[in-house]
Chain A
Amino acid sequence: MKIVKIILLVLLVAFVGLQFVPTALNTSDVVPKTDFMMVNNVPEIIKNKLQVSCYDCHSNNTAYPWYNKIQPVAWILEDHIKKGKDELNFSEWDLLSSRRKASKLRSIIKQIESNEMPLESYTLIHRNALFSLVEKQKIIEYISELKNNL
């Protein structure tokens, strides 16, 4: 019994200690000129959906949930966002060449088509990030059009 108490105490101290470890926030006040939304004439409906479903991990501006204030959650999110931005960063869209854009657009289509994006772990909490069948079809149509017009 005593050992359980000690373990719990150690865990508690570690948890409290963790809270003091800082993490860098992925936020920005300005939408850069290179942003996907700035260089493409994105229909409002699609714009909102991309913003809600993709931009948290695929842009320079994350709308953080309250639990990002708690460690180790903040670290996990930071890691997700870093990986997401490495794959695709909508904020820096226009820095890509036509070839790279075509590649990325193709991957976006494939990921959405196969329901791999948005991630299940994300939509579990962000229910409004889920794509309805119609939304999914509209977005794929729009992205395909962009790709064909490159």
Chain B
Amino acid sequence: MSIVVMLLLVVSSTNAQEKNEINDAKAEAILADYFMLKDALVADDSKKAAQTGATLVISLKAFNMSSFTADEQKELIDIIEDATEHAEHIAKSPLGHQREHFKTLSKDILDLVAITGTKNTLYQQFCPMYDKGSAWLSMSNEVRNPYYGSKMLKCGKVQKTIN
């Protein structure tokens, strides 16, 4: 077992390019889970949101930040600790609570992407009505509101395009 680990370490450290790709993949994994969660909230699907919240906890914990600078790592550790707590709550809360936690989680994910970057074009969207104004990220520029779901599906606007 330890030999395998060592081999993996050697392989990954001798090939910086490959290592970066691995790290990118991890940030993309977090984003993929976040978007699944967002879609579940758009669909008012609390059960699905709980499941994706639990998956997100796993991808957050698995995130490899070794290719970042010490300062970035410090910030990333902080972001991930916070995001993990919110994802954990989403995994075990009713819909209203899930949306409350999704707000802070979205802020964390926004800050995370600002450091890690992403290969996709993302849209930062904003709903002025939910909790004095709340943002979230989406892969599409069409607004589908995760804070209100079917109640106000199209409330909000694109605030910023990332990439």
Contacts and interface: CB of A to CB of B under 8 A. Distances in A.
A40 B104 CA distance: 23
Given A103-B85, A103-B86, A110 B100 contact: yes
Contacts, number: 15
A114 to B, nearest CB: 8
Contacts of A103: 82, 85-86, 104
Given A106-B104, A110-B100, A99 B79 contact: yes
A60 B139 CA distance: 44
Interface of A: 97, 99-100, 102-103, 106, 110
Contacts of A97: 78
Interface residues of B, number: 9
A110 B100 CA distance: 8
B45 interface: no
Nearest to B108: A99
B81 interface: yes
A97 B81 CA distance: 10
A102 B104 CA distance: 9
Interface in B57-83: 78-79, 81-82
15 contacts: A97-B78, A99-B78, A99-B79, A99-B82, A99-B108, A100-B78, A100-B81, A100-B82, A102-B104, A103-B82, A103-B85, A103-B86, A103-B104, A106-B104, A110-B100
Contacts of B79: 99
Contacts of B81: 100
